[in-house]
Structure 1
Amino acid sequence: MLNTLHQSELMQLQPTILRFTQMLSAVLQLDAEVVDADLVRIAGTGPYSKFFGKKLNTTSRIFRYILETHQEKVVVKSRTDPICDGCSNKESCRETAFLGVPIMLEDRCIGVISLVAFTEESREKIKENVQLFSDYIRHISQIFVSKVLESGDTDNGLSKVFTSLIENMDQGVLVLDDNSRVKYGNDPALNNLNISRDELAQISVNIQPLSFHNNELKGHQQHIISLGERQELVVGQFHDIHGHQLFLMAFYQPNTSFEIGKPSQQLRSVIGECKQMQTLKTLISRIATSPSSVLINGESGTGKEVIAHAVHNLSDRNDKPFVAINCAAIPDQLLESELFGYVRGAFTGASNKGKTGLIQAANKGTLFLDEIGDMSMTLQAKLLRVLEEREVMPIGSNIAVPVDIRVISATNRDFSEMIATNKFREDLYYRLNVIPIHLPPLKDRQGDVDILVHYFLDIHTRKIGVGYPGITPNVMTRLNSYNWPGNVRELSNLIEYLVNVVPAGDMIDVDLLPPYFERTACEKRSEQHNIDDSIMSLEEMEKIRIEEAINRLGNRKLVAEELGIGIATLYRKIKKFELSSQHA
């Protein structure tokens, strides 16, 4: 270390600057380095996380340039940039990009804060966000000088720098202490959680991943944030920084709330908050403990087996077997032996050990008969006897076996027509239809598409092992306008496809949707709408232009490029015109 008598202003605050640099690196996910006016390394991360207090070698051309000119410097093509000419380390240099900003104290440059990339991915991040990163670092350096050096209070100075950094971020950020208690939240975080700063300080806050498997994945994932008795579903990720945790919220949020104690909390597998689904959840809660038969009617793909599982899981039989069989998927001659079982030697080819049928296997539990309308009239008669006598006769046996089962059946067929044409027994129908449940098609479930999209995003990102992607408002508009002939199953398959094809770190945009997702009528009208510029102010014209670009592109970087402005400037204009919560 250098003699303390000759330490620079920055070196005298080295512990504070080191902690601050590590925070900056974690927030921006790039390596960072700080040097003073004598080219002494004050702090750094990654390859620069050692040799603090040592002077850099004489070939530190970029730092010298910034110190001498008092100007920031960006290098996105290392080795080929003119400033690298003559550098003795040019051929062995591992840096792929560099962004350095001077730390100015009045008219003196007392040091440099820099961001450094070592991979092509990190280089692209700097290249695409130069203005944004530059604004962040320049703002921090000003606070660093004016507050930290003036106060001389290391811990308090760090708090001011840290708070200012977070408060100027467009992402929601929560700061937690080493006991996982929330100490601070910036304005975007408070808006996402629909809570005031005073309320946040007074209640217990807990953050848990929606699935514990999420802890094994990198990138944004869904978390449940408990705010007293209220819960919010928030997409974000954790960063550990010296006894503190940062929870960084994604720009995109599902905007889905939970309330403890409601049927939706008890029936997590039954996804949906529309009026029909709320009524359905209430009905399930009421009839779950009954032994009476249930008949679920709904179109293919609406999730009839999910409802059957929910009834079983809420019943007193939830620790006993749930046995499901698809009556349409098994040939009639095999279905009988599957359901009723058989004894040794019952027929040619029968197992020497016999076979226990699914009805017996479901004893004390629940038997789910999917597509019951495809069962033959012969088997219908045998099933009716089981329901009436509560006993089953295996094939080849003359001894009935008592069974205690609850039967839940499901169909997408019209039983009234089948009964009229003698394709289904009327007496069996009344035995099965003691408690009827109708499952509405997805097209009639207003508002549920949004909830299901984020539910399936969570499921499929965990299954595939990728980060949780965002999804643009235009995509959500088209998904909500679609008719969904395949219902929930079709939506699940679509989201699995999109999770597979979306590039890492990108949002799901309309160009990834299959071609049958046509533009909505609203989008077409918007494109045809001509604005009379002559009667509008420049600010009104600018707001409309930004709003239209955001709606169409759905990606801030692309919007900024199209408008010819820096991304930080775009952020400021989004805030100015109050477009953030509606469109961005």
Structure 2
Amino acid sequence: MLNTTHQSELMQLQPTILRFTQMLSAVLQLDAEVVDANLVRIAGTGPYSKFFGKKLNTSSRIFRYILETHQEKVVVKSRTDPLCDGCTNKTNCRETAFLGVPIMIEGRCIGVISLVAFTVESREKIKENAQLFSDYIRHISELFVSKVLDMNDSEHGLDKVFTSLIENMDQGVLVLDEHSRVQYGNTPALTNLNIEKEELVRVEVNIQPLSIHNNDLKGHQQHIISLGKRQELVVGQFHDIQGHQLFIMAFYQPNTSFSNNEAPKAQFTGVIGECKKMQQLKVLISRIASSPSSVLINGDSGTGKEVVAHAVHNMSDRVDKPFIAINCAAIPDQLLESELFGYVKGAFTGASSKGKTGLIQAANQGTLFLDEIGDMSMTLQAKLLRVLEEREVMPIGSNTAVPVNIRIISATNRNFSEMIATNKFREDLYYRLNVIPIHLPTLKERGKDIELLIHFFLDIHTRKIGVSYPGITPAVMLRLNAYHWPGNVRELSNLIEYLVNVVPEGDVIDIDLLPPYFEGTVLEQKNDHQIIDESIMSLEEMEKIRIEEAISRLSNRKLVADELGIGIATLYRKIKKYGLSSHSS
């Protein structure tokens, strides 16, 4: 028999149910609706976000079916389903798919929670994830209704229900009031922020987007969460729900923090890395930045030589003066001379009638960066040596030298010892350029810096392209860490830009998006220090076996999730991913 009391049990909890429904809709990216046993709308989103407390005035055959049979119902072909026969609203119905789950208390059905699709894309989402969504909603529903039974035990029953719902979410959630003060954080949020619940209440918390111009983008973005003097980089998104804001964190987090006092200087923005070699490099840059002495940066192609040159310039007294960069290997020798030294009117056939100021003169008081200096001809090397010795430049066709005050930073991936021995590079110029040598390590030598660089480039390329910040699965991170990176940091940046372009909006970068050449990557298994080829046993295969074994042994999904140390929603996603049985043993 259906509940026919004047105000249903669900209506007594309407504010909390509405907040829950809005949160559920935001997480699953589908519209949701809740009705009680009297077919009164308790809560809803999208087209169902109004007329709360009123009985549905159109045909409610599907809701009635669920209320009477106590069975969930999935409709992925609207208008053709037998339950839709005779519906008076059939011709005007805009729903493309429907998933309804009964709300059961002690054998009674007191209402229905439903997900509704209005587009072909949303219909496919329900069709492909029907069991996953119904299991998830049923689990949350069971948690929710258990609180209904004792809602009169405390004046704060509504708050207890709401916080219980949030506490059982896999994603970290912060609840903020109308003044943007944090009122509550669930366990995953506290873990992400590395803070205790008691401290969260005491400390001043501020959340700001990392990229202000990305505010209008939908989906997850990077935010700086200030906790007193400490700051954490967190990926998440805001949702407004009845005077409260929910900051819902992504499942993936960059795991990066810094304090206000120890925040990296702006000059080191592009020099990303915390390995020993990169820390030594940063110390060296800090020490030599203010010197006028020449710097020679040596490193393999793609290791970031120009980034380091910029860092030296930005930390020097010349920071507000020009930084002029030129690639000596990319410009023909005859053109390079006129680019570097400039020329006067009529210096040669085809010369501009106004003459031209050379890059050396343009860099006066600042820094001249000569990339691939090893490709410069012997003739130009002699002229450059004169500039370094005399601190003046002679434009082509001129008889008057122009004084210059520049610092030269050069870079190469060539072996100067061999070039000097074979008379391809002047030894005296080499010693002039190599006053302060800097060697850049390859990316493979930098260990866990790869992960820092991945998140750095994810932020760079999502902002450049104008898309949401995507997650990246542990399996992908493991492959990228194991790869040998012949193209170094440049290759990693290019790969991340590619992945940001191809990953579906709001999705996570999974292993199937990686280019084919990552398939043969050998991974290191930390236990017993064994090297396991993925063709023998991948981490995903091991995870699948472990989940399958736990499901067959334990009585319900919650016990399985607890044993595996993951949330229930994460468990359902993995069951779907690996094609395992979604029914309890």
Which residue does 2:74 correspond to in 1? 74
Q: Matched residue of 1:91: which SS?
A: helix
Q: What are the within-5 Å matches in structure 2 for residues 154-169 of structure 1?
A: 156-169=156-169
How far apart are the structure 2 equivalents of 1:107 and 1:444? 62
How far apart are the structure 2 equivalents of 1:540 and 1:75? 28
Which residue does 1:574 correspond to in 2? none
Which residue does 1:339 correspond to in 2? 340
Q: What are the within-5 Å matches in structure 2 for residues 33-112 of structure 1?
A: 33-57=33-57, 59-104=59-104, 106=106, 108-112=108-112
Q: Structure 1 residues 515 and 281 mapped into 2: Cα distance closer, same or farther (>3 Å)?
A: same
How far apart are the structure 2 equivalents of 1:483 and 1:505? 29
Segment drifting more, 346-355 vs 470-479: 470-479
Q: Matched residue of 1:527: which SS?
A: coil
Q: Structure 1 residues 12 and 498 mapped into 2: Cα distance closer, same or farther (>3 Å)?
A: closer
TM norm structure 2: 0.86
How far apart are the structure 1 equivalents of 2:67 and 2:575? 34
Which residue does 2:533 correspond to in 1? 524
Which residue does 1:358 correspond to in 2? 359
Q: Matched residue of 2:516: which SS?
A: coil
Which residue does 1:446 correspond to in 2? 447
Across the aligned residues of Structure 1 and Structure 2, the Cα RMSD in angstroms comes to 3.1
Q: Which runs of 5+ in 2 are unaligned?
A: 524-530, 543-547, 555-559
How far apart are the structure 2 equivalents of 1:323 and 1:561? 51
1:284·1:311 contact (CA, 8 Å) conserved in 2?
yes
Q: Which runs of 5+ in 1 are unaligned?
A: 532-536, 571-584
Cα offset, 1:183, TM superposition:
2.0
* Aligned residue identity for 1:458: D
1:289·1:314 contact (CA, 8 Å) conserved in 2?
yes
Q: Matched residue of 1:301: which SS?
A: coil
Cα offset, 1:142, TM superposition:
0.3
Q: Structure 1 residues 228 and 220 mapped into 2: Cα distance closer, same or farther (>3 Å)?
A: same
Q: What are the within-5 Å matches in structure 2 for residues 398-409 of structure 1?
A: 398-409=399-410
Deviations 1:113-162 (A, max 9, x none): 322222233334434132343235413540562354x2585xx3442222
Which residue does 2:134 correspond to in 1? 131
1:564 aligns with 2:584: no
Cα offset, 1:18, TM superposition:
3.8
How far apart are the structure 1 equivalents of 2:362 and 2:158? 65
Which residue does 2:121 correspond to in 1? 121
How far apart are the structure 1 equivalents of 2:197 and 2:13? 31
1:20·1:158 contact (CA, 8 Å) conserved in 2?
no
Cα offset, 1:263, TM superposition:
7.6
Deviations 1:77-127 (A, max 9, x none): 322333222212223311122233344455554433322222233334434
1:263·1:281 contact (CA, 8 Å) conserved in 2?
no
Cα offset, 1:265, TM superposition:
4.4
Deviations 1:427-472 (A, max 9, x none): 2222211211111111111111111112112222222222222222
Q: Matched residue of 2:149: which SS?
A: helix
Which residue does 2:496 correspond to in 1? 495
Which residue does 2:224 correspond to in 1? 224
Q: Percent identity?
A: 76
Cα offset, 1:258, TM superposition:
3.0
Deviations 1:403-446 (A, max 9, x none): 12111111111112222222222222222112111111111111
Q: Structure 1 residues 560 and 405 mapped into 2: Cα distance closer, same or farther (>3 Å)?
A: same
Which residue does 2:526 correspond to in 1? none
Q: Structure 1 residues 393 and 526 mapped into 2: Cα distance closer, same or farther (>3 Å)?
A: closer
1:104·1:145 contact (CA, 8 Å) conserved in 2?
no
TM norm structure 1: 0.86
Segment drifting more, 211-220 vs 438-447: 211-220
How far apart are the structure 1 equivalents of 2:106 and 2:582? 27
Q: Matched residue of 2:99: which SS?
A: strand
How far apart are the structure 2 equivalents of 1:371 and 1:555? 52
Q: What are the within-5 Å matches in structure 2 for residues 302-381 of structure 1?
A: 302-381=303-382
Q: Matched residue of 2:400: which SS?
A: coil
Q: Matched residue of 1:352: which SS?
A: coil
Q: Structure 1 residues 366 and 180 mapped into 2: Cα distance closer, same or farther (>3 Å)?
A: farther
Cα offset, 1:166, TM superposition:
0.8
How far apart are the structure 2 equivalents of 1:70 and 1:103? 8
Deviations 1:29-73 (A, max 9, x none): 322223233323233221112233332135211222233234433
Which residue does 1:203 correspond to in 2? 203
* Aligned residue identity for 2:582: G
Q: Matched residue of 2:179: which SS?
A: coil
Which residue does 1:468 correspond to in 2? 469
* Aligned residue identity for 1:122: S
Cα offset, 1:394, TM superposition:
1.1
How far apart are the structure 2 equivalents of 1:224 and 1:204? 13
Deviations 1:372-426 (A, max 9, x none): 1111122112112212222211111112212121111111111122222222222
Cα offset, 1:6, TM superposition:
4.8
Cα offset, 1:353, TM superposition:
0.6
How far apart are the structure 2 equivalents of 1:540 and 1:139? 20
Cα offset, 1:367, TM superposition:
0.9
1:224·1:234 contact (CA, 8 Å) conserved in 2?
yes
Q: Matched residue of 2:90: which SS?
A: coil
Q: Structure 1 residues 464 and 565 mapped into 2: Cα distance closer, same or farther (>3 Å)?
A: same
How far apart are the structure 2 equivalents of 1:41 and 1:221? 34
Cα offset, 1:525, TM superposition:
6.6
How far apart are the structure 2 equivalents of 1:356 and 1:200? 59
Cα offset, 1:312, TM superposition:
1.2
Which residue does 1:479 correspond to in 2? 480
1:321·1:362 contact (CA, 8 Å) conserved in 2?
yes
Cα offset, 1:511, TM superposition:
2.5
How far apart are the structure 1 equivalents of 2:516 and 2:86? 54
Q: Matched residue of 1:201: which SS?
A: helix
